Amino acid sequence: MGSASFAARPGLCWLLLSFAARVWAADVLAPLPPGVAASDATPVRGIYAEETFGDTQVLEQVRELERACAARGSGLKIEGIELQWSGRKLIYRAGESVAVYEDRPQIAANVPDCTAKITLRHSVKAGPWSVVRPGEWINELPQCTDSDRRWRPRQCREETVIGIKAVCKTLGDSFQGRVTCYSARDDLSRGLMLSFETYTDTPSGDDPPSGWELDRVLVDALIDPVVFQQ
């Protein structure tokens, strides 16, 4: 009797395990920005996103300095070269509150001496959504039509990007363009840019295809309100 009773309930066990997994996943505490101490306030639910990046202006300056120094027969010496791809942005959103913490690479160069130094410039923006709206969000999500799905899937399609339901829209033609994907979830992440990639049928060293993707997104995170008070 006991064995039969146990064998008759695998569906119930699976349901309970699935529910527990969803609760655990939903109760993830968003990491705090470096240097910000946790508060005693009750966490609020919201979205957390993070990305790492390199500043294109810094990268271009490094290339220009390398060319200029090479033309003079000198080698370029850069202090902090490892920081050129160490830019980092943390985004917190809960209700109408938003906070963006950013460490952006910057460069100071001494052209005659062929030396340069790369550092990270720290900034914080916090306030209401209507004022501190990150550029990663768009106002209106692209809509894929049945015609797009059938005849032009490259122009507009639904995908899963970093585990999130997304709509991906192509701007360009068959030869070159850009594909950008946005969150299509019905929550605070809706309209958030998740990734983009450029493409070309004639790639070159001066203008190679490029891409970018958010490193992490928690769509139902617990956020310490201290991040909105900086």
- pLDDT 10s digits, 172-188: 777 788 899 999 999 99
Q: How far apart are CA 157 and CA 173, in angstroms?
A: 15
Please state the separation of Cα 180 from the chain's center in Å: 12
Q: Is the pLDDT of residue 3 over 80?
A: no
By the 8 A CB rule, do 78 and 62 touch?
yes
Q: Is the pLDDT of residue 1 over 80?
A: no
- HSE (side-chain half, CA atoms, 13 Å) at 6: 2
What pLDDT score was predicted for residue 11?
46
Average pLDDT (100-119) is 94
Average pLDDT (96-120) is 94
What pLDDT score was predicted for residue 198?
86
Sheet holding 216-223, edge to edge: 77-79, 115-128, 97-110, 87-94, 44-53, 216-223
Q: How far apart are CA 82 and CA 171, in angstroms?
A: 33
Q: How far apart are CA 98 and CA 92, in angstroms?
A: 6
What pLDDT score was predicted for residue 142?
87
Q: What percent of the chain has pLDDT above 90?
A: 59
Residue 25 binned pLDDT confidence (cut-offs 50, 70, 90):
very low
Q: How far apart are CA 83 and CA 108, in angstroms?
A: 13
Q: Provide the 3-class DSSP secondary structure of residue 56.
A: helix
Q: How far apart are CA 223 and CA 6, in angstroms?
A: 40
What pLDDT score was predicted for residue 7?
40
Structure tokens at 116: 């340069």
Q: How far apart are CA 102 and CA 89, in angstroms?
A: 4
Helices (H) and strands (E) in the chain, counts: 4, 11
Global pTM reads 0.79
Q: Provide the 3-class DSSP secondary structure of residue 113.
A: coil
What pLDDT score was predicted for residue 203?
62
Q: How far apart are CA 224 and CA 39, in angstroms?
A: 7
Structure tokens at 150: 């059938």
Structure tokens at 230: 């900086």
191-229 pLDDT, tens digit each: 999 998 888 876 655 555 577 899 999 999 999 999 999
